[in-house]
Structure 1
Amino acid sequence: MTKLFSFGFWNSLAGVILRNRAIIFLIIIGITVFLGFQWKNMKLSYTEANLLPDDHEVNIQYQKFLDKFGEEGNLIVMAIKDSSLFTPKKLKAWNDFNNSFKSYKEIDLVVSLADIKKLKKEDNPQRFELVPFIKDSTNYTDQQVAEYKDELFNKLPFYEGLIYSKNSNTIQSILYLKKDIVNTSLRKKFIENTLQPSVIAFENEYDVDIKVSGMPYIRTLNSQNIMDEILVFILAALLVTSLIFFFFFRSFRATFISMTAVIIGVMWAFGILGLLEYEITVLTAIIPPLVIVIGIPNCIFLINKYQQEIKKHGNKAKSLQRVITKVGNATLMTNVTTASGFATFALTESKLLKEFGIVASINIVALFVLCLLVITIIYSYMPQPQERHLKHLGKRWIERLVDWMENMVKNRRITIYFSSVIILMTSIIGIYMIKVSGSLLEDMPKEAGFYKDIEFFENEFDGIMPLEILIDTKRKQGVLKLPTIKRIEKLQELLEETPELSKPISIVNLVKYSKQAFYNGNPKYYQIPTSQERNFILPYAKSFESQGGVMQSYVDSTGQYARITTFMKDVGTEEMERIEKTLAPKLEKIFPSDRYEVSFTGKALIFQKGTKYLVWNLTFSLGLAVVLIALFMAWMFRSFKMIIISLIPNLLPLLMTAGLMGFLGVPIKPSTILVFSIAFGISVDDTIHFLAKYRQELKSNHWRIRKSVFASLRETGVSMFYTSTVLFFGFSVFMISSFGGTKALGGLVSTTLLFAMLANLLLLPSLLLSLERSIANKKTLKEPKLKIIPNDEDLEEKKEQE
């Protein structure tokens, strides 16, 4: 009775489902409607993904910076590179265009050519005055414009890299968004409804090309691309999987039923995202199409079994009951292992991965329930399949495929082993070539207009991603001491020598400008004042300090902390670590650690550090997934040797994919390292189906290994080929993405699952045959704790007992 308990449960469940099919279907509709109302709670992510836990040292340092100087990722930059800009008409139009943004409540500050000030020395009393660079005028003359151009590029080095690029005479404007809207939907509305239309209108009217960038702008357009791709992915996944499904089954009815199940699953996926109030990120965006790709194999196993039963005895009610009783348990187990692969992400300390893991694992289990209920209930209302619906079960090409697999396992095992060893050795070589990438922009769509604008700013201004350096002098007013100013200047010179970084901005720039102003604006005096000069300049500088502005942006109110802002190009983790390693000993010389504390921070750096942290977490997650699934299989099969045999054909494809990444130059990053956990969780499903059938055949065939292996291969080979084909093409859909990470994810998972199918159909049965003496006995293959596929005689015995 004990060994039949699980069969009894599924047998009873089959009766409950078929007797209460109308009520169950209404419940499914009710849940779908309820989750449909939760769609309104879905929201886009308006912040960069912080991959580090809150208590991480890097995050603590960043929070310290924010406490002193506030949000640093709130600027949008606009640039124009046009030789005709310095003409009266265009210059006035450009200045008016920038001034127009001051009227919007979302804008805190505009820094443009029309807004910059010059330091002017006044002697009575001794003071510096900030005077406009461009005087108010309704009309500019050619002479005025020529003078402005000459003075800007030749006499105001303070604004180099900030307002203009001296290399190409590009002019830049900066819009500072209000800090309280930077991470809200108001930012998106302003950019889409105000900024972009204004830019387009100006470009069309004056025949110029305005480049726009900045982290708020990049994040907004990137998020919109994510939303646009969700619908494309869903439609493409439905189209591809339905076509492949129809090709295999040649049945509109079966295709319609399967699509109904997975479409409801997609609706549930969106609903669960809304119910949990999770943000739509580049990861959670792939869950709905993922539901389609994973759901169709469930439908294949269930419908294939139903048609096999119909062909065997022609009884529809009995066939539906057998589908639930004989395949329900196995399908549940395979879905649980797949969900386990995703659930391990929830154990990481990354919010991004945690949410993805929770939603994905919940949806996979829910999807199993949907497929089981929807398929059996709809088929129960439909007429019994005709002979033409069952023709695919005996197709010649399928028979030839199975014959080929059987021949390979029977006669070419040495070839299979030799090929596996070659793949393993080659993969290990490739693994040593893999690099880690922490690029913030690498996965963004390269053909998008905003990405081309990023490249423009990298060429003209040496970067767009802010990198902040926080200097703690450990004493009040320590920043304003002349020795400290000189130390900061030395550090800035080091940064300028680093090609990946832009010209830095700090209090030093203002101090140099003060000396230049003291000498009546002569640009050759744009330098740190000497001790003697400082005494003369000090009275003027104090009056300037009282005016606030730039000073407060780079020195905190106590004068203890200084800030250096630079912008970095799109460099990866390894390159940034090299820069830090190069600068570290020089920093120690300039700022001795017993007197100063210097730290690098900023959102770009946090992302890079987070990538490395995430790689470790995902490696741990993959290891945990392997252990969990191994324990799960140990509980099912109660054989350590079977665990080892089952893991070999599933780990080899992962190693092969890792090696392939090394040879192709695909770096390890959050999107690509997901491949391994996803692929392992899915590929192990085929192993479970095969071994479950193998265990059943061993008992039926009185422990004859060869007969059991080939019977299992013929029984499960077709379904495994069908499902793997659907998974291969289904995941290939992600390769149409404009996001590099999503594209790599699709290609790598597809490749891994294809090789996993071959490993499970060729290597796994070969291992079973080669090791038959050590595993083909009742002592090794004990009665499983959980019998996945019941024998017909078991079912008959259960029926008699009832």
Structure 2
Amino acid sequence: MLKWLSTSFWDYIAGRILRNRIGLLITLVIFTIFMSLQWKNMRFSFTEANLLPDNHEVNVQYNAFLDKFGEEGNLIVIGFKNEPFFTPKNLALWENFIAEIKKDKAVDFSISIEDLQVLKKDTANQKFVTEPFINNAKISETYLKEKEKEFFNDLPFYEGILFNKESGAVRFAIYMNKSIVNTPARKDFILKYLSKEKIDAFEKASGIDLKISGMPYIRTLNSVSIIDEIGLFVGAALAITSLLFFFFFRSFRATLLSMSIVIIGVMWSFGTLGLFNYEITVLTAIIPPLIIVIGIPNCIFLINKYQQEIRLHGNKAKSLQRVISKVGNATLMTNLTTAAGFATFIATDSVLLKEFGIVASLNIFFLFLLCLIIIPIAYSFMPLPKEKHLEHLRKNYMKSFINWIENTIKRHNVAIFGVAIGLLVFGIIGIFRINVSGSIIEDMPKSTGFFDDILFYEEEFDGVMPLEIMIDTKRPKGVMKSTTLKKINQLQETIEEIPELSKPVSIVNLVKYAKQTYYNGNPEYYELPTKQEEAFILSYVKNSTKKGDDNMMKSYVDSTGQFARITTFMRDIGTDKMAKIEERLQEKIDKIFPEERYVVTMTGKAYVFEKGTHYLVHNLVLSLLFAILLISLLMAYLFRSFKMIIVSLLPNILPLIITAGLMGFLGVPIKPSTILVFSIAFGISVDDTIHFLAKYRQELKANKWKIKKSVYNTVKEAGVSMFYTSVVLFFGFSVFTLSSFGGTVALGSLVAATLLFAMLSNLILLPALLLSLEKSIANEQEFIEPTIDILAEDKEEDKRKDE
């Protein structure tokens, strides 16, 4: 037996805590102040979560693309459909609206109607020049009507980029400075110029319904939503858990004490994020309310034990000593298994999950220390509980519930196993119906205006999620070779055939536009030059691109002329469709770009996120298996019995299978947010099993290995606390359904459902298993002395039972 976890060890800890009350409280206050000072170091995430490790091939390729062309997610689009835009009044309003934005240093350049440039042929100098599309000196109703017609009919280069010819939808572009697009300055820019108040004012004056989107805009409003929801979750978790706690205990001081403990835990969790300089992401944002939800069950077990002791003998000092010495190990073990469920995320290669796992597991252990220290010390200064505060220990509804559980176990043993097998089959069938999903916008808040705008751009311009294809010609200036341009054009034709992708843009579009310009802007000539035309048309292009920063090709070709990019945008599609699109594009790439002459890679935010989802799902499945193995080893160490490992795991794995089955039948896909459910729920649900089996072993010894009596006594003794904690956990995790993020809603509802199934499984299936295995486990040899005494033997209570 480990002496440091023996009964004498916990007696020693209890003595030290109660003798050093003032010193410990001062230490906690100082540490809380220290953790509060770390809040200033908290950082908010300014990009989507990168689910892949830094050295993963997909990340390496994406970073190589960024090195050549810079940040690709710097585009903000502002659009509308079938609105009276081409009028002198609205054009003036628009120029006033956009002028202030363009002056800001956060903007690299913009493509808008008032600064839209079109190519013109300079025959004298044999080059192309640009001139404004709108001549402000000629503005009139008639002139703008002509320009509107020209805009939609004579500029195929901008079709799919600035307008949808079929529907009449128009969008203009703002390109943010790449050096600040992923910094706090981006948020300041968005909230200053594109706030709801600014947009509403323009819409009211012009009668135009603006639609705003693009990655910088989406990221900013998404981050604002995450930050807003932290306060919502913490407040809702405090409200629901405090109400439930008071309903169970009917004591204001017990409720206030518990709330004070979890609030300190929340402060420490924020401090941990700041101390480690971690970002607040959609995952780490749920840690503070998780601390509240997981901390209250600790308070329930410890306060319940204190009140049971007071009711038994009425001695405060003895009761406080026993709160620590009798359930210290049990509380430590249950917190360790819960922390283990989160700690398994540390084993993944995802930085996002590592940070989540580290902060969550650390703060769960901090909670254990807070509860173990504060509750006994606080009650040592309080008067004894009144009789009304102990009434909950003999509530009629609890007696009725426990009696129902006991009768079910006694009379319907076969039915219990039949239902369990039926649910197991149901779950397995459902598992085979689950799909894997990976989308940047899938879990974004659908009730927000910016999500509606995303749908607008999906409908009119086939999405705002960038997909990039980078072509390495393996030689300087290889991009402008006739063969290369034709191959790029072939690939773009394939992209245009895919309905989930937008019209692609590359150097080919510019060369086609050059030919159209050479033939005096006739849109019928918007095509690649023939062999005969190449010499003189491309010479015009080369003569037009000698001024460095004014280089017309810099957005499509790198400075050496060796690398080209094709940019398209993707609708919000599932990973299955994405995989088929990728396969189709790769087949085309392999066919038209010989490996010995070209290196072609697909990349971009949408592509990286999709690959990251599959990678993460694989890692989280391994993480769940690791959690099961880790907790199994802990069970083996605790009970030293292979049969007890099996008995303890079955009631906790079944709820996971049921939940997975429900996901399959309800169409809830496996994605980063939902795959987290299983490790979290398993780590928490095992707590009930540990409490139940520890008490069961104690009852077996007290009842001279009479299994039936021991099982029923265990249900009566442990059932109340298991019910209380499970109800708190169920409603606590349910607060996440208040979220506007689909992933957070799924996480909260699925964990809550799993824990509800786990409570019923541990209160019904686990006792039934113990009764069915009576002959093989109800003996002293099978239940040899455990390595760690989880529930210290209570000799006085055993003596009372014997009498």
Q: Please, what TM-score do these two structures have when normalized by structure 2?
A: 0.97
Where does residue 279 of structure 2 map in the other structure?
279
The residue type paired with residue 54 of structure 1 is: D
From the superposition, tell whether residues 536 and 653 of structure 1 become closer, same or farther in structure 2 (CA, over 3 Å): same
Secondary structure in structure 2 of the residue aligned to 1:172: strand
Q: 1:747-762 residue pairs with structure 2 within 5 A?
A: 747-762=749-764
Give the secondary-structure state (helix, strand or coil) at the position aligned to 2:131: strand
Matches within 5 A, 1:730-745: 730-745=732-747
Q: In terms of mean alpha carbon deviation, does 533-542 or 252-261 score higher?
A: 533-542
SS at match of 2:615: helix
Query: What SS does the corresponding residue of 1:59 show, helix, strand or coil?
Result: helix
Letter in 2 for 1:114: E
1:606 is aligned with what amino acid? V
Aligned partner of 1:230: which letter? Answer: I
2:160 pairs with 1:158 = no
Matched ranges for 1:671-750 at <5 A:
671-750=673-752
Q: What's the secondary structure of 1:440's corresponding residue?
A: coil
Distance apart, 1:3 and its partner CA: 7.0
Q: For residue 277 of structure 1, what is the amino acid of its counterpart? A: N
Aligned-pair CA distance for 1:493: 0.7
Instruction: Indicate the percent of aligned positions where both proteins have the same amino acid.
Output: 62
How many pairs are equivalent? 796
**Deviation of 1:582 (Å):** 2.2
Query: Is the contact between residue 284 and residue 356 of structure 1 (CA under 8 Å) also seen in structure 2?
Result: yes
Cα distance between partner residues in 1 of 2:51 and 2:533: 48
CA contact (8 A) 2:5 2:329 kept: no
Please give the alpha-carbon distance, in whole angstroms, between the structure 1 residues aligned to 2:403 and 2:33.
48
2:575 equivalent to 1:573: yes
| Structure 1 equivalent of residue 591 of structure 2 | 589
How much does 1:83 deviate? Answer: 3.1
Shift of residue 385, structure 1, vs aligned partner: 0.8
How far does the alpha carbon of each residue in 1:332-361 deviate from its partner, in whole angstroms, 9 at most, with x for none?
Answer: 100000001101111111111000000000
1:165-314 map, 5 Å: 165-196=164-195, 197-314=197-314
How far apart in 2 are the matches of 1:180 and 1:631? 50
* RMSD (CA atoms): 1.6
Q: Aligned partners of 1:192, 1:610: CA distance in 2, in Å?
A: 30
8 Å Cα contact 1:95/1:112 also seen in 2: no
Amino acid at match of 2:788: L
1:170 deviation in Å? Answer: 2.3
Alignment match, 2:642: 640
Query: Mean alpha-carbon deviation: is it higher for 354-363 or for 112-121?
Result: 112-121
Preserved CA contact (<8 Å) 1:7 1:795: no
> Which amino acid is the alignment partner of residue 600 of structure 1?
M
Pairing of 1:643-658 with structure 2 (within 5 A) = 643-658=645-660
Secondary structure of the corresponding residue to residue 248 of structure 2: helix
Matched, 1:130 2:146: no
- Unmatched segments (≥5 aa) in structure 1: 798-802
Q: What is the alpha-carbon distance in structure 2 between the residues aligned to residue 540 and residue 2 of structure 1? A: 84
Contact persistence 1:153–1:166 (CA under 8 A): yes
Q: Is the 8 A contact 1:409 1:762 kept in 2?
A: yes
Which residue number in structure 2 is paired with residue 48 of structure 1? Answer: 48
Given that 2:515 and 2:537 are in contact with CA atoms closer than 8 Å, whether structure 1 keeps it comes out as yes
- 2: CA distance, partners of 1:538 / 1:593: 27
Could you tell me which residue of structure 1 aligns to residue 146 of structure 2?
Answer: 147
Q: CA deviation at 1:481?
A: 1.0
330-339 or 265-274, which deviates more: 265-274
- Shift in CA distance, 116/549, structure 1 to aligned 2, threshold 3 Å: farther
Partner of 1:21: 21
Which residue number in structure 1 is paired with residue 9 of structure 2? 9
CA contact (8 A) 1:76 1:176 kept: yes
Deviation of the 1:567 alpha carbon = 0.6
Judge conservation of contact 1:734–1:747 (CA < 8 Å) in 2: yes
CA distance in structure 1 between the aligned counterparts of 2:798 and 2:773, rounded to whole angstroms: 33
In 2, are the aligned partners of 1:113 and 1:163 still within 8 Å (CA)?
Answer: no
Shift of 1:503: 0.4
Between the aligned partners of 1:363 and 1:465, the Cα distance in structure 2 is 36
Counterpart check, 1:524 vs 2:524: yes
- Return the alpha-carbon distance in structure 2 between the equivalents of residues 205 and 235 of structure 1: 39
Query: How many Å separate the matches in 2 of 1:4 and 1:366?
Result: 19
Tell me if structure 1 keeps the 8 A contact 2:702–2:798: no
Tell me by how many angstroms 1:741 deviates.
0.4
Offset at 1:4? 9.3
| Alpha-carbon distance in structure 2 between the residues aligned to 1:745 and 1:54 | 27
The aligned counterpart of 1:393 is 393
Deviation at 1:104, TM superposition (A): 0.6
1:82 CA drift (Å):
4.3
Please report how far the alpha carbon of residue 27 of structure 1 lies from its aligned counterpart in structure 2 after TM superposition: 1.3
For residues 424 and 53 of structure 2, what CA distance do their matches in structure 1 show?
36
- The CA deviation string for residues 489-547 of structure 1, in whole angstroms up to 9 with x for no partner, is 11111001100000000011011111111111111000111000112323322212225
Structure 2 distance, partners of 1:550, 1:425, is: 63
Residue type at the aligned position of 1:753? L
Change (3 A) 1:4 1:467: closer
1:800 match: none
1:451 to partner: Cα distance = 0.3
Tell me how far apart the structure 1 counterparts of residues 618 and 320 of structure 2 sit (CA, whole Å). 46
Partner secondary structure for residue 554 of structure 1: coil
Shift in Å, 1:207: 2.7
C-alpha distance in 1 between matches for 2:783 and 2:293: 34
Contact 1:10 1:328 (8 Å CA) reproduced: yes
Shift of 1:685: 0.1
User: Aligned runs of 1:331-346 on 2, under 5 Å?
Assistant: 331-346=331-346
Matched residue, 2:557: 555
2:63 alignment counterpart: 63
Q: For 1:374, what is the secondary structure of its paired residue?
A: helix
Give the conservation status (yes or no) of the 8 Å contact 2:15–2:321: yes
Distance 2:512 2:92 in 1: 30
Please, which moves more after superposition, 73-82 or 738-747? 73-82
Contact 1:98 1:173 in 2 (8 A): no
Rounded Cα–Cα distance in structure 2 between residues aligned with 1:396 and 1:133? 81
Structure 2: how far apart are the matches of 1:229 and 1:310? 41
Any residues of structure 2 matched to 1:282-681 within 5 Å, and which?
282-547=282-547, 548-681=550-683
- Say whether the 8 Å CA contact 2:2–2:787 is kept in structure 1: no
Is the CA contact (8 Å cut-off) linking 1:115 and 1:133 kept in structure 2?
yes
CA contact (8 A) 1:462 1:502 kept: yes
Q: What are the within-5 Å matches in structure 2 for residues 764-775 of structure 1?
A: 764-775=766-777
CA distance in 1 between partners of 2:92 and 2:583 (Å): 47
Distance 1:143 1:108 in 2: 33
Instruction: Give per-residue Cα distances to partners, 1:89-146, cap 9 Å, x unaligned.
Output: 1123223432332211111111111222222112223221112211243x71122101
Q: Which amino acid aligns with 2:795?
A: E
Structure 1 length normalisation: TM-score?
Answer: 0.97
